[in-house]
């Protein structure tokens, strides 16, 4: 390679311009048509005779000469451009779409778990053992089975649990027990109830569906609030052939999922019963009850007039079993099976100091809590066959000897935002009593100002 020699700088011309190297300092004029004599490079050739550099655009259009694929050696993966490596995003600028794998093969195009269609679990025809997943942690045993095997009837679940056929870590489990992640659940052979598509209901099922619609106080895609009539049980039991949970079978959707009970009220209690139509709503509403963000208000007709007219009842309650029946008794702190129970009450109106219409707000949700608490303060609820034990007390003429207790109102956060606030009307036997006693059922309810705790 030749080495250029440093040439002395040319003197500036009259106008102060320095002539270019290799060109005579001549006056400017029209461009010559041929090469200027003496304008030669180090190789002796005229500068104009050298091959000229192609413009950038023209150079890009030249056909590329590539060797056949068979003659080109395969480069290792580490030498490939970063945009062409599998699992890596393409370069931000200048990357060709041809270097990117098809969308179906790219990791970012994988179907998300919650969007993937989850096939129904096969029905076990023999004893199986499954492990509780992280998503099922804290789930009740009965809800766990409903989630694993849609279409499994409540009665079938209760039967296998009662017989001890379902075991958790080798031990018998109750349907209300909550599972923990990693536990082993022994599941016996199951019999799945075949869900019936809407429009293919029998005549009896169509009547059941119509009865549920007639009870409906509120309904949307997630939530159903029923006005349960007095005398209709919420769940099945010994000798119970008709109940709300069984009636909800006719509302199964196309996937076999049926509405789920969120809470319970006594068989003889009328009024608001909350039902979740989706698994998402059931989880959210159950959590609201657990965290006491749900507010329930009951109306009752009691013997006598409580004094003071507004108060708080706080006791411990424990179940007392007998051969014929079981009741909740007032217990002491520390007693076996005793649970703390708190109820606020307020007298709304009275009738000749013999009867009082009271509004009740339970803070806790113990079995028979309101009935046991009102009997505890000496003002049992009229028509209560278990807790009304006032001696020499006669029912006023015209009043039916039925439990005068109404789940009047429920206020709870909606699973998707907002608030559910539903009220139930007086049942026929209570409305009759209100009319006979001259009680105004649209009076202001003082329990509104009761504390939430």
Average model confidence (pLDDT) across the chain: 78
Cα separation, 256 vs 252, in Å, equals 5
Q: What is the mean pLDDT of residues 69-93?
A: 47
C-alpha span between 184 and 167 (Å, rounded): 8
pLDDT band at 189 (very low <50, low <70, confident <90, very high): confident
For the record, the structure tokens of 124 come out as 């076990």
Annotated catalytic residue 335 = no
* Start-to-end CA span in the chain (Å): 96
Scanning 318-416, the segments in alpha helix (DSSP H) are: 369-376
Tens digit of each residue's pLDDT (9 = 90 or more) over 139-172: 888 888 877 876 677 778 888 888 888 899 999 9
Facing residues of 340 across strands? 316
Q: Which pLDDT score is estimated for 8?
A: 52
Three-class DSSP category at 225: strand
Structure tokens at 157: 């679940």
Contact 354, 348 (CB under 8 A): no
pLDDT band for 254, please (50, 70, 90 cuts).
confident
Quick one: pLDDT at residue 60? 47
Q: How confident is the model at residue 85 (pLDDT cuts 50, 70, 90)?
A: very low
For residue range 297-309, list pLDDT tens digits in order: 999 999 999 999 9
Mean pLDDT, residues 324-328: 85
Q: Which residue has the higher pLDDT, 72 or 264?
A: 264
Q: What is the pLDDT of residue 118?
A: 43
pLDDT score of 349: 95
Contacts of 43 (CB under 8 A, 6+ apart): none
pLDDT exceeds 80 at position 82: no
Helices (H), 133-216: 141-148, 154-162, 203-215
Q: Homologous superfamily of 128-187 in CATH?
A: RNA-binding S4 domain (3.10.290.10)
* Residue 43: predicted pLDDT: 58
CA distances from 185 to 125, 131, 167, 170 (A): 16, 6, 6, 8
Is the per-residue pLDDT at 407 higher than 90?
Answer: yes
Q: What is the mean pLDDT of residues 337-355?
A: 94
- The backbone torsions φ and ψ at residue 287, rounded to the nearest 5 degrees and listed phi first, read -65, -35
- Report yes or no: 344 and 451 within 8 Å, Cβ to Cβ: yes
**pLDDT in the model for residue 112:** 39
More confident residue, 248 or 148: 248
Strand partners, 185: 130, 168
The residue from 142, 245, 266, 384 that is catalytic is 266
Domain residue ranges in the chain? 128-187
pLDDT score recorded for residue 312:
95
Q: Enumerate residues 6+ apart whose C-beta is below 8 A from 251.
A: 209, 212, 258, 259, 277
Closest CA to 218 of 414, 363, 406: 414
Which position has the higher pLDDT, 300 or 292? Answer: 300
Q: Using CA atoms, how far apart are residues 326 and 162, in angstroms rounded to an integer?
A: 19
Pairing of strands 419-423, 326-331: unpaired
């Amino acid at each position: 390679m030749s080495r250029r020699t440093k040439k002395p700088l040319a003197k500036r011309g009259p106008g102060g311009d320095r002539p270019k190297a290799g060109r005579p300092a001549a006056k400017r004029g029209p461009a010559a048509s041929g090469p200027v004599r003496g304008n030669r490079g180090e190789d002796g050739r005229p500068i104009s005779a050298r091959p000229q550099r192609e413009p950038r655009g023209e150079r890009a259009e030249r056909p590329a000469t590539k060797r056949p694929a068979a003659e080109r050696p395969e480069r290792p993966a580490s030498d490939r451009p970063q945009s062409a490596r599998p699992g890596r995003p393409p370069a931000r600028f200048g990357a060709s779409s041809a270097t990117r794998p098809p969308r179906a093969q790219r990791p970012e195009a994988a179907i998300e778990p919650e969007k993937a269609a989850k096939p129904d679990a096969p029905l076990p025809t023999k004893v199986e053992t499954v492990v509780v997943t992280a998503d099922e942690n804290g789930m009740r045993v009965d809800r766990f089975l409903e989630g694993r095997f849609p279409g499994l009837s409540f009665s079938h679940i209760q039967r296998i649990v009662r017989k001890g056929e379902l075991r958790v870590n080798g031990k018998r489990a109750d349907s209300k027990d909550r599972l923990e992640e990693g536990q082993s659940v022994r599941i016996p052979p199951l019999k799945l109830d075949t869900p019936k598509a809407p429009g293919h209901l029998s005549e009896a099922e169509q009547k059941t569906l119509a009865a549920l619609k007639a009870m409906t106080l509120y309904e949307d895609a997630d939530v159903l609030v029923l006005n349960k009539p007095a005398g209709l049980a919420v769940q099945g039991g010994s000798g119970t052939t008709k109940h709300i949970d069984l009636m909800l079978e006719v509302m199964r959707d196309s996937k076999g999922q049926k509405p789920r009970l969120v809470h319970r009220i006594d068989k003889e209690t009328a009024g608001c019963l909350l039902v979740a139509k989706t698994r998402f709503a059931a989880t959210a509403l159950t959590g609201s009850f657990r965290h006491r963000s749900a507010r329930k208000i009951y109306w009752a007709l009691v013997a006598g007039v409580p004094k003071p007219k507004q108060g708080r009842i706080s006791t411990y309650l424990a179940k007392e079993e007998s051969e014929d029946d079981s009741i909740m008794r007032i217990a002491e702190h520390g007693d076996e099976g005793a649970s703390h129970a708190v109820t606020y009450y307020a007298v709304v109106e009275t009738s000749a100091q013999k009867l009082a219409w009271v509004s009740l707000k339970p803070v806790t949700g113990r079995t028979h809590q309101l009935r046991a608490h009102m009997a505890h303060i000496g003002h049992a609820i009229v028509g209560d066959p278990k807790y009304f034990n006032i001696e020499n007390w006669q029912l006023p003429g015209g009043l039916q000897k039925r439990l005068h207790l109404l789940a009047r109102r429920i206020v709870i956060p909606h699973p998707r935002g907002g608030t559910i606030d539903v009220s139930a009307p007086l049942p026929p036997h209570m409305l009759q009593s209100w009319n006979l006693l001259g009680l105004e059922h649209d009076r202001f309810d003082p329990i509104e100002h009761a504390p939430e705790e």
